[in-house]
Amino acid sequence: MDALLDAARAARDNAHAPFSGFTVGAALEDAAGRIHTGCNVENATYGLTLCAERVAVFKAISEGARNFRRIAVVADTERLTPPCGACRQILWEFCGNVPVLLGNLQGSTETLQLADLFPRPFDASLL
């Protein structure tokens, strides 16, 4: 198994999802090979909930990382779970067209380019 997927799977164990029970882990590899993890953190208002992918990106940025190679996302679902729209936007702005590794607890995996998940993104080039 890929170390990045393993890190995302382990991060999932720290998720705080008392309302939905939907726990997700993410692991973001920076250009130096360091892995920054994140898990989803729910809030009773749901609107203030943060997804695992955004937690991993913001954590990496706060630790000084600026260039990224790839991200892995793991959830306990039969069908592999891609990042939501908000996460796709954040990933595009901070990571660019990185590979997105999707995995579940049953060992299924798939790798997609972010541009395939997020065609025609809005970014600074449009400003």
Told to judge if 53 belongs to the known catalytic residues of this protein, a careful annotator would answer yes
d(CA 8, CA 71): 9
CA 97 to chain centre: 13
d(CA 37, CA 71): 9
**Which residue's structure tokens are 């799977």?**
9
Q: Are 21 and 41 in contact (CB under 8 A)?
A: no
Largest CA distance in the chain: 43
Task: Determine phi and psi for 87, rounding to 5 degrees.
Answer: -70, -40
Catalytic residue among 29, 42, 53, 63: 53
Q: Would you name the residues annotated as active-site residues?
A: 53
